[in-house]
Amino acid sequence: MSDTLTPSGKAPRRRRGRKLRLLRALGLILGAIVAIPLVLVPVYGFVPPVSVPMLERHLTGRPVVRVWRDIEEVSDRLKAAVIMSEDGQFCRHHGVDLSALRTEIDNFLAGRDTRGASTLTMQVARNLFLTNSRSAVRKALEVPLALYIDLVLSKKRIMEIYLNIAEWGPEGQFGVVAGAEAAFGVVPDALSWERASLLAVTLPNPLVRRPGRPGPGLRRVASVIEARTRQFGTRAGCVAPGRALAL
């Protein structure tokens, strides 16, 4: 009897063993995914990071143009215009705009169009650790990452990273130095109101929008952001602690 039972008993054990090995492998993968941001975010407090889109272009043989620039060497007008254009509550929230996020969730559940509700910190999280694919999973991952980034890094450093990893042109221009040079042939420490606003409104779609050759529509949007920044730009003071923004 034992001769007939033993083989049949081994098969379930082998299947259980395979399942356990698979679960362990998945656990290790998930652990690595969680550990990478936990380790790298504190390091990025003083080391210039490289974004996922930069790596994707490099691995596929496409050019990447990025020159790191200290935030103090970037025009205050541009910093304020980016905040007014992309995330007006940047200095007030803790990485996630909960009010905007609740509205997005309500719209999603009701089947209405969603606008994204991505804060600058969430965009930094996506660029550093995720992909640009539009999905509910990616958005869900952005939230805890953004909260962690805001907890570990200062607003000034988050903005500095954003300005240096944001895609600012269709030919691999990353960061404000490459963006300002490609659009206007200038360095980003001395930008007029018009140029600062045009660069800021390019960010939602840098592969299509051309700040150096703006059409009427882009000029109108830039004018709105310029007016908003002139009026409310001092709300961006968290990126220049200890001094007033030179607007």
**Average pLDDT taken over every residue of the chain:** 87
Residue 245 in domain: no
Same domain? 110 vs 231: yes
Same domain? 125 vs 219: yes
* Rounded CA separation 33/168 (Å): 28
Alpha helix (H) residue ranges in the chain: 2-43, 52-59, 76-86, 98-109, 120-129, 136-152, 155-165, 175-184, 193-202, 216-232
The pLDDT score that the predictor gives to residue 3 is 47
Q: Is 116 helix (H, G, I), strand (E, B) or coil?
A: coil
Which of 8-12, 32-36, 62-66, 81-85 has the weakest average pLDDT?
Answer: 8-12
Report whether pLDDT(1) > 70.
no
The pLDDT score that the predictor gives to residue 135 is 74
Overall number of domains in the chain: 2
Same domain? 107 vs 181: yes
* Range(s) of the domain holding residue 22: 13-43
Report whether pLDDT(87) > 90.
yes
Residues 6+ apart with CB under 8 A from 226: 81, 193, 194, 196, 197
Confidence of residue 88 (pLDDT cuts 50, 70, 90): very high
Cβ–Cβ contacts within 10 Å for residue 9, how many? 10
Residue 106 in domain: yes
pTM above 0.75, yes or no: yes
- Residue 66 or 135, more confident: 66
Cβ–Cβ contacts within 10 Å for residue 64, how many? 17
* Rounded CA separation 41/47 (Å): 10
Average pLDDT, integer, range 76-104: 89
Same domain? 31 vs 69: no
- Sign of the torsion formed by the C-alpha atoms of 210, 213, 218 and 219: positive
The pLDDT score that the predictor gives to residue 114 is 55
